[in-house]
């Protein structure tokens, strides 16, 4: 039987999830991050004695006065990373025929990315889209689950520390999916406005919205940040089983259709259309310059992430 939703067992599941992620992912991204801007850096470092050829503008006059020996102040590149998550939790994510629901894979991916980045003073924040049509003004977050309603995009400010990261994950797991179509383009655009310091942006979605809706914001995001797109897929979105008449409901519009899956030609057309759709998504992400990771609800998503990170 499929596990209960993450929101219903949030604390225990998040604790087990963090332990699982720690065992398999810890150590893969140890060490400082390379500076995002060229040059020697602007942060003050240690002083050392002056050597011929050193830039005199770096002279450390207080140390020089105390020691009566010329000293220069070294500078270091900024090694602090800021990561932002754009998490699509619209109604199409509340579906799954494998071991997990797609929304549970979204939460799990957010937990893995959070664990990999929130160390050494690094900050992580998130914006959450839960469907419901047009967005409302973003709300402030104080470490607990924020109020989420129809048409609301929730912004969780970037903060450092494991306690704050756990609060962020609790807020993500507790977000209630709303009926109606989501706007993935608007969700990604929230990472572009207001402009943020250079860092990493991770977009987690099934990307079922038309590519023209989200490809331009994704390209704009890539101009300033390193972008990772995590695509969540269920096997029934790729091919239909032969189970006779199958009633299906569009979770975003509520439309009901009855499909005769015993027809082999229909199953073949469905598989071909699904493959073309996924190829178009991959092409749009590649055109935007984003790294692309696909996670499935019927596979070990953590093993796929380990392979990607390694």
pLDDT the model gives residue 189: 92
Q: For position 58, what pLDDT does the model report? A: 86
* Residue 218 belongs to domain with CATH number: 3.40.50.410
Helix (H) or strand (E) holding 203: strand 200-205
Question: Containing domain of residue 291, as a range?
Answer: 84-137+149-234+281-309
The candidate with the shortest Cα–Cα distance to 127, out of 113, 116, 138, is: 138
Pull the structure tokens for residue 108: 């799990």
- 61 is a domain residue: no
Q: Residue 175: what pLDDT?
A: 87
Peptide bond into 36 cis (omega under 30): no
pLDDT of residue 74: 77
**How many CB atoms are closer than 10 A to CB 33?**
16
- 230 falls within a domain: yes
Q: How many helices (H) and strands (E) does the chain have?
A: 8, 10
For position 181, what pLDDT does the model report?
A: 77
In whole angstroms, what is the distance from residue 11 CA to residue 15 CA? Answer: 6
| Any domain includes 62 | no
pLDDT at residue 133, as a whole number: 58
pLDDT of residue 227: 92
First to last CA, the chain: 32
Assess contact for 247 and 258: CB atoms under 8 A: yes
Classify burial at 6, counting beta carbons within 10 Å of its beta carbon; exposed 0-12, middle 13-18, buried 19 or more.
Answer: buried
Structure tokens at 134: 């047009």
List CB contacts of 290: < 8 A, sequence separation 6 or more. 203, 218, 222, 227, 228, 229
What is the domain count for the chain? Answer: 1
Tell whether 119 is covered by a domain: yes
Residue at 107 is within a domain: yes
Segment holding 18, helix H or strand E: helix 10-25
pLDDT score for 77: 53
Per-residue pLDDT, 255 = 80
Flag whether 251 is in a domain.
no
For the question of whether the overall pTM of this predicted structure is more than 0.75, the answer is no
Angle at 142 between CA 172 and CA 149, to 5 degrees: 50
Mean pLDDT, rounded, of the chain: 79
Q: What are phi and psi of 132, to 5 degrees?
A: 95, 10
Total Cβ atoms within 10 A of residue 286: 12
User: Considering the domain boundaries, does residue 242 fall inside one?
Assistant: no
Residue 145: predicted pLDDT: 42
Q: What is the pLDDT of residue 92?
A: 86
- Residue 91 corresponds to which tokens in the numbers above? 């109604």
274 occurs within a structural domain: no
The ranges of the chain with pLDDT < 50 are 1, 3-8, 27-39, 134-150
Would you state the pLDDT for residue 78?
Answer: 52
Tell me what percent of the residues of the chain surpass a pLDDT of 70: 75
Give, in degrees to the nearest 5, the angle at Cα 60 between 57 and 64. Answer: 125
Residues in the chain: 310
Element housing 200 (H / E): strand 200-205
> Do the strands 226-233 and 200-205 form a parallel or antiparallel pair, or are they unpaired?
parallel
């Amino acid at each position: 039987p499929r596990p209960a939703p993450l929101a219903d067992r949030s604390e225990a599941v998040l604790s087990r999830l963090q332990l699982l992620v720690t065992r398999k992912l810890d150590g893969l991204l140890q060490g400082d991050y390379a500076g995002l801007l060229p040059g020697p850096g602007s942060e003050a470092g240690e002083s050392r004695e002056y050597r011929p050829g050193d830039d005199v503008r770096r002279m450390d006059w207080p140390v020089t006065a105390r020691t009566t020996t010329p000293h220069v102040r070294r500078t270091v590149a900024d090694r602090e990373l800021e990561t932002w998550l754009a998490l699509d939790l619209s109604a199409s994510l509340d579906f799954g025929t494998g071991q997990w629901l797609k929304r549970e894979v979204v939460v799990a991916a957010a937990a893995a990315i959070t664990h990999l980045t929130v160390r050494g003073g690094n900050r992580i924040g998130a914006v959450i889209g839960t469907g419901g049509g047009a967005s409302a003004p973003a709300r402030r977050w104080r470490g607990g689950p924020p109020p989420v309603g129809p048409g609301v995009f929730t912004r969780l400010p970037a903060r450092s520390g494991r306690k704050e990261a756990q609060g962020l994950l609790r807020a993500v797991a507790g977000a209630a999916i709303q009926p109606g179509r989501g706007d993935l383009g608007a969700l990604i655009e929230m990472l572009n406005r207001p402009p943020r310091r250079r860092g990493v942006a991770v977009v987690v979605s099934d990307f079922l919205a038309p590519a023209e809706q989200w490809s331009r914001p994704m390209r704009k995001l890539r101009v300033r940040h390193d972008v990772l797109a995590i695509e969540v897929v269920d096997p029934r979105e790729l091919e239909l089983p032969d189970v006779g008449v199958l009633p299906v409901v569009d979770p975003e519009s509520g439309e009901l259709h009855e499909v005769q899956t015993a027809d082999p030609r229909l199953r073949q057309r469905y598989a071909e259309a699904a493959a073309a759709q996924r190829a178009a998504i991959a092409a749009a992400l590649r055109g935007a310059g984003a790294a692309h990771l696909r996670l499935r609800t019927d596979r070990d998503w953590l093993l796929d992430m380990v392979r990607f990170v390694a």
